[in-house]
A and B are shown apart, each in its own frame.
Chain A
C-alpha cells in the first residue's frame, strides 16, 4: 500500500515536472529535460556493458548514431522513405544491436585499457564513415547530415503539432521509453543473464570454468547495451528533425561514460541520477556569462571553457572522494568501505588461473 502511494506520488511529480519547469524557467529548460531523458536511456544502455559486464566502452555514441541515422534514412525525403516510428525504432535498436556485436566480436579477448582503445577507435570509425559516405553515392549526407526528418507521429497525431507543445509531448514519449529501459535494466540485472554478466566482471576465468560461455554472454551485453543506444538515437532524430556527424563525437561517449561512473556503475538509480545531473548542470553554467557580465562588467572566463574545467574538476573530486560514484549500490558501498582497494581485479592473466 505504502509502495503504491509512493509510486503514485512519483508519477504525479514526473507528470507535473515539465509544466512546472516550463512556467518557472521557460521552454528551453523543458527541452533540456527532454535531452536529460535521452541521456538516461544512453547511460542505462552503457551501464549494461560497463556496469553490469565490466567491459569498458569508449565508443558508445556510435550506437546512438546508428539509431539516429536509421531513423533519418527511413523517415525523410533523403531517400523518400517515410516509415512510421513504431517500425523504425525497433529497426534502429536492432541495427545498433548488430553493430554492438560487430564491435564485441573482435574485442572478446581484450580487457581494460586495450578494450578502451579499440572501442574508442570503433566510435571514431563510425563517425568518419557517416562524414564521408556522401560520395560516390550520397547515403549519409556527409558533413551536412540529413534534415527534414519526419517528426514522430502517434496515429495521425504529430508530436510536433502545435509547435508550441512539441517539447512537452516529447517529454512524455521520452519518459515512457526511459522508464521502459530502466525496467528492462532492472529485470536483466536480477536474472540468470545478469548474474552471468556480474560473474565475468568479477572473474572471467572462474566464470568460464563454471560453465558460462563468456563469449556469448559478452556479445549479449554489447548487443543489449547498443540497442538501448539505438533506440535513444531514433528518438533523438525524430525529435531534432536533423542529424549530422557532429552530434556523435568522442566527447559524447566520454560524457555518457562519465554519467555512468559518476552516478554509480552498475546501480540503476545511481546511473539515472548521474545522467540527469550531468545533462542539467552544464546547462546551468550558461548563466555564468551574464552573472560575470553584471559582476565585473565583462566576461572574465569564457563560460564554455569554464564548463569543461568544472566538469573535469568535478570528475576528479568524485573519483577521489566517492570512488564508487555519487549514488552507488549498497553492496558496492559496503565493499569499498570494507577494503579501500578499487582496482585489484585486472589480473586475469591465464598463468594465474590455478596458482
Chain B
C-alpha cells in the first residue's frame, strides 16, 4: 500500500558527457499529487535529469519507474504516452503554428485518426477532430490564452509562450508534468499568476516536477524539494529543512 503513494521512483541515475559527470547516483522519489522541486546552481544537472526522464538522453546507469513500470531506455514519444510530459528551459514551441494548433499537437498521442480517415472524412475522424479542438480550446481557457487562440505562437509574449508550453504538455494528459524553469523571464505579476496556475494543476490531480531558480516561488509552492550540485543530490526534504542545510548554503554561495 505504501508503494501506491509513489508516482515516480528514480534510482541511481548516472549520466556522463565526455569526462563530465552531469549526473551521478541520483535517486529520488516523487509522491502522487505533490509538487516536487529540483533546484541547484547553473550546470548542476537539473535539465540533464529532465532529459533522462523524458527519454531524450539514455542514462548510463540507474533506472526509474513510473507507477512501478520500468521506463529507462524508452523513446521520448513513449515517455509522453506513458504519462510524463515536459516543458523546455529554452522554449520550444511550434512557432509557426497557431496557438491552438500547438495544443492540438499535444493531443496526438491520445488520438488515433489516420491517413485514410482523414482523406475520406469519416465520421469517426470528424468527431475526433472536434474533440481535439474542443479539448485544446478548454486548455487554452485553463491557462488563460483563449483570446490568442489564432495567433502564431511566435508572436506571443514570453510569459504567454511559457503558458502555452504548459497547455501543450497538459494536452498529453500527463501523470507527471515536468516544468523546466517555467518562471524564467517572467515579471513578478506573471510569476504570481503562474504560481496560481501551478496550484490549480496540482489540485486537478497532476503531479508536478519543477525546476526553478526563483527561490521565493519554489519555497512558497513546493511540498518537497531536492538540491543538485555537480550532478549529485546534496539535500532533499521539505522547504524549511532544506533551506537551513549547510551544504545547500555552501553550494549556493559558491564556496569551493
Residues of A that sit less than 8 Å from B by CB: 184, 187-188, 191-196, 198-199, 202-203, 205-214, 220, 224, 331-332, 334-335, 338-339, 350, 352-355
CB atoms of A187 and B119 under 8 A apart: yes
Whether A188 contacts B119 in the complex (CB less than 8 A), given A209-B76, A353-B56, comes out as yes
Chain B proximity of A119: nearest CB distance (Å): 22
Scan B49-82; emit 1 where CB is below 8 A from any A CB, else 0. 0110011110000000000000000011101110
Chain B residues 137 to 156 lying within 8 A of chain A, measured CB to CB, are 152, 154-155
Select one of A192, A199, A203, A212 contacting B118, CB under 8 A.
A192
Complex: A332 Cα to B155 Cα, angstroms? 13
26 pairs, A vs B, C-beta closer than 8 Å: A188-B119, A191-B113, A191-B117, A191-B118, A192-B107, A195-B101, A198-B94, A198-B101, A202-B96, A202-B97, A206-B88, A206-B94, A209-B54, A209-B56, A210-B106, A210-B108, A211-B80, A211-B106, A212-B105, A212-B109, A220-B115, A352-B90, A354-B50, A354-B88, A354-B180, A355-B90
The answer to whether the Cβ of B121 comes within 8 Å of any Cβ in the partner chain is yes
Residues of B that sit less than 8 Å from A by CB: 47-48, 50-51, 54-57, 75-77, 79-81, 85-86, 88-90, 92-98, 101, 104-111, 113-115, 117-119, 121, 125, 128-129, 132, 152, 154-155, 168-169, 171-172, 180
Given A210-B105, A212-B105, list of 18 further CB < 8 A pairs?
Answer: A192-B108, A192-B129, A198-B97, A202-B95, A202-B96, A206-B93, A209-B54, A209-B80, A210-B85, A210-B168, A212-B77, A213-B75, A335-B96, A335-B154, A338-B154, A350-B56, A353-B88, A354-B180
CB atoms of B172 and A192 under 8 A apart: no
The residues of A that contact B94 with a CB separation of less than 8 Å are 198-199, 202-203, 206-207
CB atoms of A193 and B121 under 8 A apart: no
CB atoms of B51 and A354 under 8 A apart: yes
Whether A214 contacts B77 in the complex (CB less than 8 A), given A191-B118, A192-B128, A193-B113, comes out as yes
Complex: A212 Cα to B154 Cα, angstroms? 21
Complex: A196 Cα to B94 Cα, angstroms? 11
The residues of B that contact A352 with a CB separation of less than 8 Å are 90
Chain B proximity of A287: nearest CB distance (Å): 41
CB atoms of B152 and A335 under 8 A apart: yes
The residues of B that contact A334 with a CB separation of less than 8 Å are 152
Select one of B55, B98, B169, B180 contacting A331, CB under 8 A.
B98
Complex: A184 Cα to B116 Cα, angstroms? 10
> Which chain B residue lies CB-closest to A184?
B119
The residues of A that contact B101 with a CB separation of less than 8 Å are 195, 198
CB atoms of B80 and A210 under 8 A apart: yes
Complex: A198 Cα to B101 Cα, angstroms? 10
Chain B proximity of A265: nearest CB distance (Å): 12
The listed residue with most A CB atoms (<10 A of its CB), out of B54, B57, B94, B169, is B94
> Which chain B residue lies CB-closest to A339?
B154
CB atoms of B56 and A354 under 8 A apart: yes
Complex: A339 Cα to B96 Cα, angstroms? 11
CB atoms of A192 and B95 under 8 A apart: no
CB atoms of B125 and A212 under 8 A apart: no
5 residue pairs, one from A and one from B, having the closest CB atoms: A211-B109, A211-B80, A191-B118, A354-B47, A202-B94
CB atoms of B121 and A187 under 8 A apart: yes
The listed residue with most A CB atoms (<10 A of its CB), out of B81, B96, B106, B169, is B96
The residues of A that contact B111 with a CB separation of less than 8 Å are 192
The residues of B that contact A199 with a CB separation of less than 8 Å are 94, 97, 105, 108
Complex: A187 Cα to B86 Cα, angstroms? 30
Select one of A187, A198, A213 contacting B77, CB under 8 A.
A213
Complex: A187 Cα to B120 Cα, angstroms? 8
Complex: A97 Cα to B96 Cα, angstroms? 29
CB atoms of B128 and A208 under 8 A apart: no
Complex: A334 Cα to B95 Cα, angstroms? 12
Chain B proximity of A52: nearest CB distance (Å): 12
Whether A187 contacts B118 in the complex (CB less than 8 A), given A196-B105, A210-B169, A353-B56, comes out as yes
CB atoms of A210 and B154 under 8 A apart: no
The residues of A that contact B88 with a CB separation of less than 8 Å are 206, 209, 353-354
CB atoms of A354 and B89 under 8 A apart: yes
Complex: A355 Cα to B114 Cα, angstroms? 34
CB atoms of B76 and A208 under 8 A apart: yes
The residues of A that contact B98 with a CB separation of less than 8 Å are 331
Complex: A323 Cα to B169 Cα, angstroms? 33
Complex: A202 Cα to B117 Cα, angstroms? 24
Chain B proximity of A39: nearest CB distance (Å): 22
The residues of A that contact B110 with a CB separation of less than 8 Å are 211
Complex: A202 Cα to B96 Cα, angstroms? 7
CB atoms of B54 and A191 under 8 A apart: no
Chain B proximity of A350: nearest CB distance (Å): 7
> Which chain A residue lies CB-closest to B132?
A192
> Which chain B residue lies CB-closest to A212?
B108
Chain A proximity of B90: nearest CB distance (Å): 6
Complex: A251 Cα to B215 Cα, angstroms? 60
CB atoms of A210 and B155 under 8 A apart: no
Complex: A194 Cα to B132 Cα, angstroms? 14
Select one of B89, B115, B118, B152 contacting A355, CB under 8 A.
B89
Chain B proximity of A16: nearest CB distance (Å): 29
The residues of B that contact A194 with a CB separation of less than 8 Å are 118
Select one of A202, A212, A224, A332 contacting B115, CB under 8 A.
A224
> Which chain B residue lies CB-closest to A188?
B118
The residues of B that contact A353 with a CB separation of less than 8 Å are 51, 56, 88
